[in-house]
A and B are shown apart, each in its own frame.
Chain A
Amino acid sequence: MINWNIRLTDNILLFSIIVLSSFGLILLYSATNQDLDIVYRQGARLIFCFCLMLLIGFTDINKVKSISPYIYIICITLLIITLFWGHDSKGAKRWIVLFGFSFQVSEVLKIIIPMCLAWFLSFSEDKDMDLKKLVICFLIILLPIFFVIKQPDLGTSLIIFLCGFISIFLGGIRKKHIFYLLGIFLTMIPLMWKFILLPYQKQRILTMIDPSADPLGSGYHIIQSKIAVGSGGFFGKGFLNGTQSQLEFLPERGTDFIFAVFAEEFGFFGVLILFLFYSLILARCIHITNKSKTYYSKILSGSITCIFLLLILTNISMAVGLLPVVGVTLPLVSLGGSSLLSIFIAFGIMFSINRRN
């Protein structure tokens, strides 16, 4: 009875995850204008993902490691299917329906790619990263990204790339190579602007720089979100009392801008509490990473820790107008099954690694 706690180990981590994800449901109730139907469905997804997390948590980490490449290949297949039979949403094919659930494969890549990279890097854990290894790593990252760009979904592609890069960085990419890559990236920017970016993507970036240029069009999201966050004040307007969210001035309240709903209704004080819980999770993740025994576990848990924080920062930066709207959800809180799935897979892995420690 008492033992499973010890075996799954980290109570604080588990507690924080439960608190944050349940709170996410409550917040969703407000963000969807008290649409209980949506809340119930999200709750069901949450329970499913939570069970999956426990399942992975009790699985031996070596087993997880050994199935990593297969999962990677399944993901690539699903991406190709998405490209051909995906659902249209605002001009992009991002969704497929699996067993009656719509599913966004690109969300899961944020965790699958680091898994695959950690698996690959662990084969030659005693050698530092030469060019050959680096090229293979990049192929692992860029192959799925290619399909995501095709959807087209540039924002998610960038995030996925960053997730993969974090793993390579932790896996010991040479400094020299980092500078080369940086050089290539910087020269690519003008070329990308000219040849790869679609007009609406350019518009998003320009809008982020000056939202007031098009206050009713593409700047609307950012302006309304900033108003929501700012008008929350120190203590917020109170649960269900956020005028920006309840009167629907704020767009995409359940997903991209759920932080704005939160900040409006709970204020800066609430934001601090939210950060406190995230910090608890992160502290436990850092602890697990530092305690992990194998190279594979180190790379994977380190990556997951950094990616988790990266996603939080990206989502909140979007809501306060520091980043263009790239479609990153707030981990554990936002509406949506796919992002929930990837986060809970990640924590499942963390528990599994921790159990091994």
Chain B
Amino acid sequence: MKKSFLDFNRINIEKLFHYRFTILMIILSFLTFFLLSRLYYLQVLSFEHFDTLSESNRIKYIQVPPRRGIIYDRNNIVVADNSSLYSVEINLEIAKNIKKIINAIDNEINLTDEEKKNFYKKKLKYSHHNSIVLKSNLTQEEVAKILSIRYKYDGLDVTASLLRNYPYEEITNHVIGSVGYIDKVDLNKIDKKKYKNAKYIGKTGVEKYYENLLFGTPGYKHVEINAKGRQLRDLDKKNAIPGEDIHLTIDVNLQKFVYKKLKDYSGSSIVMNPKNGEILAMVSVPSVNPNNALWKNDQNTETTNFGKSPLFNRSLNGLYSPGSTIKPIIALSGLHNNIVDANDEFYAGPFFQLPDSSRRFRDWKPEGHGMVDMNKAIVQSCDVYFYMLANNLGIKKISSFFKNFSFGQLTGVDLPFESRGVLPSSDWKMKNIGNKWTNGDTVITGIGQGYFLTTPIQLAHAASIIANRGLIKTPKINKNIIYDKNENVIKKEEFLRNNISQENWDRITEAMFNVVNKKNGTAYWVTKNKSNKISGKTGTVQVYALSQDTDIREKDNIPDHLKDHSLYIGFAPKNDPEVVVATVIENIGSGSKYAAPISNQIINYYLDKIRKKY
């Protein structure tokens, strides 16, 4: 009885076991089926999706930046090229412990504290780069040392990159410009796809203006990488197309000469061929060596701050009152408008006064020039004559006439960031100063003072228009570029060629010739070699308006930065000008003392030593 109960119970329990076992197996089979359908979904239905993901995991697209074009001067002398530079970089995306990597590198090649500090600074500043340079310009020995530890650290790499090299250093700095790291400002302007993996971009000068030509077309390669980002093999590649080489109109030997003459001052000098607008030399001083700026970590901090702004390109951006250099154009305007006859003589005393005004406009010569005609007024740079002439012309005629010489406008030179300067007019004053134009404003405009502001390139351009007798050649720096004259230029040229008589052109060029070649001329005594028949005009620009009663001569003891700017425009030879020079030297003294002799030496050097070779 008991046993049968037991058996009965036992059979029940065994039944329960089999029941439960079956349930479990059914549940688990159901889960298995579910899992298999999941696998079917992943592997068969979603195969393409995951295949793409897997491919993009292992295949990396690497853009290969092109070699930058080389820049030559007009005689095929290299003025900007590329050299190899080895640098140690850390890839922030892959590197696990940056500090550890830096310490390891430090052990091998001894980094300075500054290099380490700069690395962290750059890490913040260039956070959009994957790789940050820790140290550049490595020696072969350093490269070998770092390569020996590279395998231990993911993200540590030695790269060979092309570095821009400027063999003429500070001599050509402002005109050729330089390249620099692509920063956040550049990023907004460029095609990011094209510049991927490129480090440098033209920042100033020719490097910037012709960036698109110089840069070239990037190539690419697809490489297989592993999970650590190490490249295993190339899958396919397309080579980059190097940037185009550029041949400049600059003559490096002339540039060198001009720089040598100017390097102790602040200022600019531009030498042009008026026949075709080619810029033969363009110097802005003080200057810096662009090669240093590149491997120093931050270019424009320390070097800039020594007061004279060596990074400032005075040739295109320096704004100076033209002073007496524009007197020949005022004279031409007077002749053209029939306000004055070249032979009319006027009495020029020590000063000029407007009717119903007590203000005295002084002449630079305290005792005055006596009786002067136009020729004498230009030769001796008589201020009073031009005060009167300007007053008689009125500002409207002056500014509409000066427009034809591109004052207050861009000359159109193929360089970046050109400044417009100011060609004053009553509208301009109303808009920018907020006051009405006065007759006094007109009077000082007559000697190129007051609101009148020009750049050295504008002065050179205006001088070459005079030398060409109205023919306008847009200044250019790229030898192979041919400008189409735009409507505006054609209009100006037609005006200058058709409405101004050859006789009038003769009168003012003759007067400019006399400035250098006649005993009373402002540039006569300072020009030793007169064999090249130089014509020119000096200018002395007051930086500091002295009070009405002070004698202008008593200014020897004023501080440097208030001293006069010294200006000069000139061209030679007289009858068929081949070279034009415009020079501005800041805060130094009169035009005849500094700018004129330097410019005329440049002209003689060009015509005697350089021109002959062509």
Contact = CB atoms under 8 A, between A and B. Distances in A.
Given A233-B47, A234-B43, A234-B47, A172 B24 contact: no
A125 B13 contact: yes
Contacts of B55: 231, 243
A142 to B, nearest CB: 21
B226 A248 contact: yes
Interface stretch (A109-117, A191-199, A298-306): A298-306
Contacts of B226: 247-249
A267 B43 contact: yes
Q: Which of A172, A230, A233, A313: most chain B Cβ within 10 A? A: A230
Given A233-B51, A243-B54, A268-B43, A126 B10 contact: yes
B25 A243 contact: no
B3 to A, nearest CB: 10
A320 interface: yes
A169 B19 CA distance: 11
A317 interface: yes
Interface stretch (B34-42, B158-166, B212-220, B449-457): B34-42
Given A229-B43, A231-B47, A317 B35 contact: yes
Contacts of B25: 286, 305-306, 309
B6 A126 contact: yes
Majority secondary structure, A binding face? helix
Interface in B292-343: none
Interface in B39-53: 39-40, 42-44, 46-47, 49-51, 53
Given A170-B24, A243-B54, A306-B25, A249 B43 contact: no
Interface in A211-244: 224, 226-234, 243-244
B1 to A, nearest CB: 14
A146 interface: no
Contact of A229 (B24, B32, B42, B228): B42
A172 B50 contact: no
Contacts of A243: 54-55, 57-58
A306 B20 CA distance: 11
Contacts of A26: none
A310 interface: yes
Interface residues of B, number: 40
Nearest to A278: B32
B51 A172 contact: no
Nearest to B42: A230
B35 A268 contact: no
Given A268-B43, A306-B24, A249 B17 contact: no
B506 interface: no
Contact of A230 (B20, B31, B47): B47
Interface string B1-20: 00000100110111011101
B24 A268 contact: no
A340 B337 CA distance: 110
B54 A228 contact: yes
B24 A247 contact: no
B14 A295 contact: yes
A233 B50 CA distance: 9
Contact of B44 (A233, A248, A309): A233
A252 B46 CA distance: 24
B227 A248 contact: yes
Given A230-B49, A249-B58, A295 B13 contact: yes
B242 to A, nearest CB: 33
B17 A231 contact: no
A268 B40 contact: yes
Contacts of A306: 21, 24-25, 28
A231 B53 contact: yes
B39 A268 contact: yes
B14 to A, nearest CB: 7
B232 interface: yes
Contact of B35 (A224, A248, A320): A320
Interface string B227-261: 11000100000000000000000000000000000
B47 A169 contact: no
B225 interface: yes
A291 to B, nearest CB: 12
Contacts of A346: none
Contacts of A305: 21, 25
A298 B13 CA distance: 11
A249 B228 CA distance: 8
A73 to B, nearest CB: 27
B28 A302 contact: no
Contact of B224 (A127, A171, A234, A247): A247
A259 to B, nearest CB: 10
Q: Which of B12, B42, B224, B226: most chain A Cβ within 10 A? A: B42
Contacts of A326: none
B39 A249 contact: no
A128 B16 CA distance: 10
Nearest to B47: A233
A233 to B, nearest CB: 4
A298 B14 CA distance: 9
14 contacts: A128-B12, A227-B53, A231-B51, A234-B47, A243-B55, A248-B226, A268-B39, A268-B44, A275-B36, A290-B18, A298-B17, A302-B17, A306-B25, A316-B39
Interface of B: 6, 9-10, 12-14, 16-18, 20-21, 24-25, 28, 31-32, 35-36, 38-40, 42-44, 46-47, 49-51, 53-55, 57-58, 224-228, 232
Given A229-B43, A247-B225, 6 more contacts: A243-B54, A249-B54, A263-B39, A271-B36, A295-B13, A305-B25
